[in-house]
Amino acid sequence: MEKLITNIAARFPDLTKEDVSLSINIMIDAMSERLINGGRIELRGFGSFSLNAKLQSQRSNLADETNKSVTVNPFVHFKPGVVIRKNLNDAI
């Protein structure tokens, strides 16, 4: 994160590192709140984030022989956008 802050501050000399850091933290907090409330986030060209809510149910634990139910926590799913996919494919 520090490298990102330094790069942005270098590109925009009117902004201090503290300004950039505060802006990034505000954006991350807003994105987290959106996901927590069941929303979806799309950054055109970059990708989309969503909370995989389907995994909030109880699942059988097949790893042991007791078949106890275990809770599978939801997780954030990222689907890369066209620009990111193209850049990755070109780099590989």
For 16-35, the pLDDT digits (tens) are 999 999 999 999 999 999 99
pTM to 2 decimal places: 0.68
Do 60 and 86 belong to one domain? Answer: yes
- Domain extent at residue 25: 1-37
Are 72 and 62 within 8 A, CB to CB?
no
Could you give the C-alpha distances from 68 to 54, 71, 78, in angstroms and in order?
19, 10, 30
Do 31 and 54 belong to one domain? Answer: no
Contacts of 83 (CB under 8 A, 6+ apart): 45, 46
Do 57 and 84 belong to one domain? Answer: yes
Q: What is the pLDDT of residues 45-72, one digit of tens each?
A: 899 999 886 544 555 556 666 656 656 6
Question: Number of folded domains in the chain?
Answer: 2
Percent of the chain, pLDDT > 90? 61
